[in-house]
């Protein structure tokens, strides 16, 4: 049953299986184990970032395509649902319409980028995607009548997803199941379904061809595979999944704007998560997203506690100052790349 659910792509490491199980159980039970708003926000962000990072790994890790336009598709999903809810009101028809429009726009852009750009060499394709993403970010900021400009759009969600909604009259295990928790489990199960779908894709004959293209594009073409067609298809699939990740983020945040969907900082975070977790392994997206987002959310607080605990000692309080959390995050990244050159998943599987 588990093999079928994971498309016969088992972790192949006891340590990796244990880590993945801890992450899965932790995310599934976050509302009951850590019911605070901060922990719930971090867990929801981990869920939709796992989908976003895994969708990028379809391009980079499994096909060898370097793209800088991934946040554009993420933003299209967020803006599609956000603008639809803002314009039509907080109803499920508005959500479905926003999803449909966002998917059509993302697929059209991904297909156009693929057909016109994938024939060029990798670095030129990366530059083209960067230019397209930059143009889209500028449009999102300039078309303030539609997107809200730099301020973005704040909107209401359907009543089922609002904090005032109560699914049950009495608490469950001491936790009131309100609309916020319902939204969290919508994000959690949506992310789980999309992740399993991507596992199915990469472990299908189509996925094997993608890996053959990554290893040697000329050999794959000599064997009769139309590499441009396969690369265009995976570009569209990756864009569609990233768009759906943007939809999940929009439903959770109830806000969409350039800073949370189109920022180049998000693209850098995606690259870091792929490298830390391990390219060419969707499980690496789970580990990379979890580790980096936990570090970004809690490292500053941990450094503050450590700085207070070492008061009176030479140098240590200054080194552990919370304002230097980005320095320590960079050191952690350097150490992870040094000790895990194949990513954490690759290291655990070799062990």
| Predicted local confidence at residue 216, as pLDDT | 82
pLDDT at 120 over 70: no
Give per-residue pLDDT as tens, 297-334: 888 888 888 878 877 777 777 788 888 878 888 888 88
Taking the C-alpha atoms of residue 249 and residue 254, their distance in angstroms, rounded to an integer, is 8
pLDDT at 226 over 90: no
pLDDT at 252 over 70: yes
> For 338-345, what is the mean pLDDT?
84
pLDDT level of residue 114 (50, 70, 90 thresholds): confident
> For 30-58, what is the mean pLDDT?
93
> For 104-125, what is the mean pLDDT?
79
CB-based burial, 149-184: b 16+ in 10 Å, e otherwise: eeebbebebbeebbeebeeeeeeeeeebbbbbbbbb
pLDDT level of residue 249 (50, 70, 90 thresholds): very high
Give the CA-trace dihedral at 219, 220, 223, 226, to 10 degrees.
Answer: -130
β-bridge partners, 153: 256
Q: Apex CA 112: angle with CA 54 and CA 203, to 5°?
A: 30
pLDDT at 64 over 90: no
Q: DSSP strand E in the chain: where?
A: 153-154, 255-256
> For 72-88, what is the mean pLDDT?
94
For the chain, what is the mean pLDDT?
88
Domains of the chain: 2-350 (1.10.3470)
Taking the C-alpha atoms of residue 115 and residue 151, their distance in angstroms, rounded to an integer, is 34
pLDDT level of residue 67 (50, 70, 90 thresholds): confident
37, 177 Cβ separation under 8 angstroms: no
Taking the C-alpha atoms of residue 41 and residue 44, their distance in angstroms, rounded to an integer, is 5
Q: What percent of the chain has pLDDT over 90?
A: 42
| Predicted local confidence at residue 117, as pLDDT | 65
> For 226-240, what is the mean pLDDT?
89
Give per-residue pLDDT as tens, 257-294: 998 888 888 998 999 999 899 888 899 999 999 999 99
pLDDT at 124 over 90: no
pLDDT at 122 over 70: no
The 3-state DSSP class for residue 154 equals: strand
| Predicted local confidence at residue 108, as pLDDT | 93
| Predicted local confidence at residue 118, as pLDDT | 61
pLDDT level of residue 188 (50, 70, 90 thresholds): very high
Burial (CB < 10 A; 0-12, 13-18, 19+), residue 215, is exposed
């Amino acid at each position: 049953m588990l093999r079928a659910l994971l498309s016969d792509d088992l972790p192949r490491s006891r340590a990796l299986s244990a880590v993945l199980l801890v992450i899965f159980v932790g995310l599934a039970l976050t509302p009951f184990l850590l019911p605070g708003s901060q922990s719930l926000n971090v867990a929801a962000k981990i869920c939709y970032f796992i989908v976003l990072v895994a969708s990028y790994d379809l391009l980079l890790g499994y096909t060898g395509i370097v793209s800088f336009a991934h946040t554009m598709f993420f933003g299209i999903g967020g803006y599609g649902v956000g603008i639809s809810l803002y314009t039509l009101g907080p109803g499920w028809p508005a959500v479905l319409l926003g999803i449909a429009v966002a998917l059509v726009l993302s697929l059209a852009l991904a297909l156009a980028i693929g057909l016109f750009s994938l024939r060029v060499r990798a670095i030129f394709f990366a530059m083209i995607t960067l230019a397209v993403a930059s143009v889209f970010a500028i449009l999102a900021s300039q078309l303030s009548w539609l997107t809200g400009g730099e301020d973005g759009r704040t909107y209401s969600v359907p009543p089922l997803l609002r904090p005032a909604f109560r699914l049950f009259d009495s608490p469950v295990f001491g936790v009131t199941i309100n609309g916020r928790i319902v939204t969290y489990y919508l994000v959690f199960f949506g992310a789980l379904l999309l992740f399993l779908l991507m596992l199915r894709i990469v472990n299908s004959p189509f996925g094997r061809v993608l890996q053959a293209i990554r290893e040697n594009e000329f050999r794959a073409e000599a064997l009769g595979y139309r590499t441009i067609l396969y690369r265009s298809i995976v570009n569209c699939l990756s864009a569609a999944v990233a768009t759906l990740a943007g939809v999940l983020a929009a439903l959770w945040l109830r806000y969409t704007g350039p800073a949370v969907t189109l920022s180049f900082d998000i693209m850098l975070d995606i690259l870091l998560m792929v490298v830390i977790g391990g390219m060419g392994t969707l499980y690496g997206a789970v580990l990379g997203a979890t580790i980096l987002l936990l570090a970004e959310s809690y490292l500053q607080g941990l450094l503050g506690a450590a700085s207070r605990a070492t008061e009176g000692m030479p140098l240590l309080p200054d080194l552990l100052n919370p304002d230097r959390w980005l320095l320590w995050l960079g050191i952690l990244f350097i150490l992870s790349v040094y000790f895990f050159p194949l990513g954490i998943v690759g290291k655990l599987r070799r062990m």
